[in-house]
Each structure stands twice: as C-alpha cells, then as structure tokens.
Amino acid sequence: MDEAAEALRIHRNVARSRLDRLVEASLLEVGFERRSGRSGPGSGRPARIYSIAPELSAIEFPLRRFGSLIELLISALPLRGRARRLHEVGVAFGDELARSASVDRSRSLPEALAHVCEALGELGFHATVETTAEREGWVRTATCPLRPLVVANEDAAAVDSGMWTGLVCAALEGVDELDVVCQGHDCLSEHAPCRVRVRLRD
C-alpha cells in the first residue's frame, strides 16, 4: 500500500481505498506477511500485501475507448445550447457522486469544500482545499474524476465545471446551481494538478 501511494503520489488512505475496491471486485487478493524478518512477540503487525488474482493473469484487457465515445456523444449534441446541456449533465453527475459518498452539508463555503474533498477521497480520488474565503475558494486535485474526458475533448470542460457545481451545491446549504460558479484550471497541463476555482455569485 505504501509503495502504491508513493508511486501514484497520493495519500496512503486513498491508495488503500482504491486497492480495497479492487479486492471487492475480485481483481486483487489480499494477504499478510512480516517484512521485518522477525517473528513472535514484539515483531510488529504483519504488512497488508496485495496481489493480482491468479485467474486474471492470462486475461488481456482491450484498450479503453471512453474518450472517443464521449467525443462522439458531445459532437451529437446541437452546437446551440451544447455547453449548457453538458453543464447540466455535470451537475447531475456531481450530485450523484455526493450522494454516493454521503457528503456532509455545511452553511460555510470553506467547510463545504472540505466536505467535498473528503467525499471524493471516499470515492478513491484525492483533492485538497488550497485556499478559501467567505465566498471563494480553490481546490487542488491531481486525480479529478473527469480530467481524462477533458483531455480527450475540451468541450467536456462544461461537464467538469458542472460536476464541481453539483458537488458544492450538495455540500453547501442554501444554494443552487445558479448561485455557484466553478471553473477548472490547468486541466490540460500534463505536469500540473487540476485547480478548481469555486465562487458564489453576489
């Protein structure tokens, strides 16, 4: 688990959550072993070890084509009103993520953003609050759920901003999607994490 967290540059709790989800899906097996070489009392707790399930070793997984599929779906929408419809889809997706993680609610934007990051962590993504004020905040994430889609098609940025809007609306009491403006930054930068600006309308 520590090796996976270090390799992916994520918190060890996030790594453990993702690995445990793969165990639940029967894609990995879990075991325990002592790495200190000692045994008996005082040797410490055994380390949790993950390995590929034997029955999957010979399976070849085809290349994913989700980016192409999303691009086709986006291009199928009429140009007029496309961004608005994609934003609405993103809001619905963000609300679904919030319900899946049972996000806590707050009357304060800083607290709401912290709840959003915690909820994403429960779902296996890593996000942290970078800065906050009463009506504006920034969230930093190297594993944004929709980043691969935005990289595949820039029009998907409307879905991404909608997702963050839906997440914030689920965590912040007294607002709806018209009150919240979310904008992604650095999504297309290969060597930088995504940064999301969240602003409440006056």
Residue 84 sits in a domain of what CATH number?
3.30.1380.20
Question: Which tokens is 30 given?
Answer: 């879990």
How many independent structural domains does the chain possess? 2
pTM of the full structure: 0.67
Same domain, 123 and 169: yes
**Which of the pair, 149 or 95, is modelled with greater confidence?**
95
* Same domain, yes or no: 47 and 89: no
SS3 73: helix
Query: Containing domain of residue 109, as a range?
Result: 66-200
Confidence category of residue 185, pLDDT binned at 50, 70, 90: very high
If asked whether residues 113 and 151 sit together in one domain, one would say yes
The more confidently predicted of residues 126 and 18 is 126
Q: Are residues 93 and 28 in the same domain?
A: no
pLDDT for 15-43, tens place per residue? Answer: 888 888 888 877 788 887 766 555 656 56
Run of H or E including 48: strand 47-52
- If you average pLDDT over every residue of the chain, what do you get? 85
CA–CA separation, 123 and 134 (whole Å): 27
Q: Is the per-residue pLDDT at 5 higher than 80? A: no
Say if 174 falls within a structural domain: yes
